Amino acid sequence: ARPIDIAVIGGDGIGPEVTAEALKALRAVLGEDGLQTTDYALGARVWHETGEALPEGVLDDLRRHDAILLGAIGDPSVPSGVLERGLLLRLRFDLDHYVNLRPTRLYPGVKSPLDVASVAPDGIDFVVVREGTEGPYTGNGGALRVGTPAEVATEVSVNTRFGVERLVRDAFARAQARERRKLTLVHKHNVLSYAGHLWRRTVEEVGAEFPEVTTDYLHIDAATIFLTTGPGRFDVIVTDNLFGDIITDLAGAVGGGIGLAASANINPDREVPSMFEPVHGSAPDLAGQGIADPTAAILSASLLLAHLGRTAEAARVEEAVAADLANRGAGSRSTSQVGDAIARRLSATGRS
């Protein structure tokens, strides 16, 4: 088989550090000949040097790869929103990554901030299917009379049947393939009625194609309660871009910390590269010290393998991470120590 061809965007802060460990895991599981990488220097430095978040032509280059592995984007030296909208969201939107997939599993040995024995005795294992290209993330809106007492600022959430339906169908298909076959729509249709009704109707209608999947609804506010008082009830959650952003950080915390939370920005059309990144950000305060936890980046690499159809390898990476987590104990290891330990497990289990 030809090697997997990956575009690597280490990005800012701890991004390059954790990405390096994810690449170790990929090399260990695919073999040196199984992986080909191209580094793309993007992020705060490039923006300072060129004034551009995504210089001309780079997007076309990125399109040629099988997938994109991203570390993190964002730096305090850049005005808020510039890199988010100009680079991270730009990639998600231009590559039409409409399925933002964020699994949460409480792995054995991992400590949750929850009192798990009483609120999740049967464990935690769910996935959030977050819409990635619409909602309040479109950049629609504006401001009038800025800086005066009469200032008005608006943000417009844009939702289309086209966008909601394709996402909801993807979520149902994922629910169908899981053991519990349960899908929970999270929205706020009692207040955001226009968008809420569109989401509700779409779930109802697409749900008819998946009679084996049970559906359920929670308002976003209630969903945050259940994520802390009974996260075991969730299997697949489908929700919009902003609600998904919020609950996946909460889900990450509940699952033992944002240092373990992986994500995939997927365009199901395999001709377009999907993008894999930890849920956490660039954490400038931790950068350069070699203390960031690379686990979320490594689990994101597992999602990358799964998306490219390398199911066995994906499972092996996840198992190596799980084995490492089960044995972590209290001692603290450096970023590369964690990455090396996981890579060693992968080399030891051997390639089949």
Ligand X SMILES: CC(C)[C@H](C(=O)O)[C@@H](O)C(=O)O
In the residue annotation, 96 being an active-site residue is answered as no
CB of 152 to a second copy, least distance (A): 5
Sign for the CA dihedral angle at 7, 315, 306, 296 comes to negative
In the residue annotation, 137 being an active-site residue is answered as yes
Alpha carbon distance 189, 184 (integer Å): 14
Q: Which is nearer to ligand X, 58 or 72 (CB)?
A: 72
Among 156, 177, 191, 326, binds ligand X (CB under 6 A): 191
Q: Which is nearer to a second copy, 27 or 328 (CB)?
A: 328
Q: What kind and span of H or E run contains 179?
A: none
Binding interface with a second copy (CB under 8 A):
74, 80-81, 84-85, 89, 111-116, 118-119, 136-137, 139-143, 146-162, 165, 188-198, 201, 220-222, 224-225, 228-229, 242, 245-250, 252-254, 257-258
159 binds, among ligand X, a second copy, none (CB under 5 to 8 A by kind): a second copy
Neighbour tally for 299: CB within 10 Å: 29
CB of 219 to a second copy, least distance (A): 8
Residue of 107, 137, 235, 240 marked catalytic: 137
Asked whether the beta carbons of 305 and 313 are under 8 A apart, the reply is: yes
Encoding tokens for residue 298? Answer: 């490594």
Check whether 221 is labelled as a binding-site residue. yes
Max distance between CA atoms of the chain, in angstroms, equals: 67
Residue of 207, 229, 213 whose CA lies nearest to 178: 213
In the residue annotation, 221 being an active-site residue is answered as yes
Check whether 324 is labelled as a binding-site residue. no
CB under 6 A: which stretch of 58-66, 81-89, 110-118, 154-162 binds ligand X?
81-89
Residue of 33, 39, 61, 221 marked catalytic: 221
Alpha carbon distance 146, 45 (integer Å): 29
Residue of 170, 240, 245, 324 marked catalytic: 245
Q: Which residues touch 87 (CB under 8 Å, ≥6 apart)?
A: 42, 43, 47, 53, 54, 73
Q: Which is nearer to a second copy, 160 or 289 (CB)?
A: 160
Residue 190 near ligand X by CB under 6 A: yes
Encoding tokens for residue 98? Answer: 């409409």
In the residue annotation, 245 being an active-site residue is answered as yes
In the residue annotation, 249 being an active-site residue is answered as yes
Asked whether the beta carbons of 136 and 242 are under 8 A apart, the reply is: yes
Among 39, 144, 221, 312, binds ligand X (CB under 6 A): 221
Residue of 304, 249, 280, 295 whose CA lies nearest to 88: 280
Asked whether the beta carbons of 300 and 280 are under 8 A apart, the reply is: no
CB under 6 A: which stretch of 3-11, 17-25, 27-35, 84-92 binds ligand X?
84-92
Asked whether the beta carbons of 273 and 68 are under 8 A apart, the reply is: yes
Residues marked active site are found at 137, 188, 221, 245, 249
Residues of this chain that bind ligand X (CB under 6 A): 84, 88-89, 190-191, 221, 245, 279, 281
Residues in the annotated binding site for substrate: 92, 102, 130, 221
